[in-house]
Amino acid sequence: MDFARIMTIAVSMIFINNFILSKFLGLCPFLGVSKETKPAVSMGLAVIFVMTCSAVITWSIYNYLLIPFGITYLRTITFILVIAAFVQLIEMVIRKFSLALYRSLGIYLPLITTNCAVLGVTILNVDDFFIQGKPIPGSFFFATLQAFFAGVGFLLALIIMSGIRERLELTDVPPSMQGIPIAFIVASLMSLAFMGFSGFKF
């Protein structure tokens, strides 16, 4: 496989096109779960896992089911249902086999279904790695990688944000800025920092 292409996808997904900070995908858990570092890490890992697996599943469905039957316009419905069913399945499996893991991840799993980052990455995969209904060479591999690194970027942003918000608890914030507004300002400054990777374009 082309190593340069892999590195490009990795750097682009983690830093330049970070899902949260430059594409605004998955802001919901980003604001909801970033109050403390530990749950943030669990959530990030769960997202990486779900994203990678859903990318594998949706790519296969798109390539082997939707394209041969010419029903690619059903992709939104199919993808969201597959993701929802998959998340439910994972939840059941984890509850059955590891109660400790279920306790630390459990409550975040249902939230992932409505995480736009997961649906977003599967749709982006289909847009990026299929040309006129045909997968490009190495399409499956790239799609999986793109989803994995998008998840890593998500985890990175979540960890940084939760670290900052833990400190923010101790500071004196004006009453009307407390909570969500100040979190947005912090996210904005983080996003400004991440823009350094892509550079300003005037």
Partner 1 sequence: MKRLLHEFTKGITIENPTFGLILGLCPTLAVSTSLGNAIGMGAAATFVLVCSNTIVSSVRRIIPDRIRLPAFIVIIATFVTMCELIMKAYAPALDVSLGIFVPLIVVNCIIMARAEAFACKHGVGASIFDGLGMGVGFTLGLCVIASVREILGAGSIAGKQLIPGFQPATVLILAPGALATLGLLIALSNLMKSKKSTCRACRKGGCG
Residues found near partner 1 in the complex (CB under 8 A)? 21-32, 73-77, 80-81, 84-85, 111, 114-116, 119-120, 123-124, 127, 174-185, 187-189, 191-192, 195, 200, 202
Give the count of beta carbons closer than 10 Å to the beta carbon of residue 112. Answer: 25
CB nearer partner 1, residue 92 or residue 177: 177
CB nearer partner 1, residue 83 or residue 155: 83
CB nearer partner 1, residue 120 or residue 135: 120
Q: How far is the CB of 100 from partner 1 (least distance, A)?
A: 26
Which of 37, 40, 49, 42 lies closest to 20 in space, CA to CA?
40
Q: How far is the CB of 160 from partner 1 (least distance, A)?
A: 14
CB nearer partner 1, residue 6 or residue 123: 123
Q: How far is the CB of 181 from partner 1 (least distance, A)?
A: 4
Whether 13 contacts 31, CB under 8 Å: no
Q: How far is the CB of 14 from partner 1 (least distance, A)?
A: 15
CA 169/CA 8 separation, integer angstroms: 37
Q: How far is the CB of 154 from partner 1 (least distance, A)?
A: 13
CB nearer partner 1, residue 81 or residue 136: 81
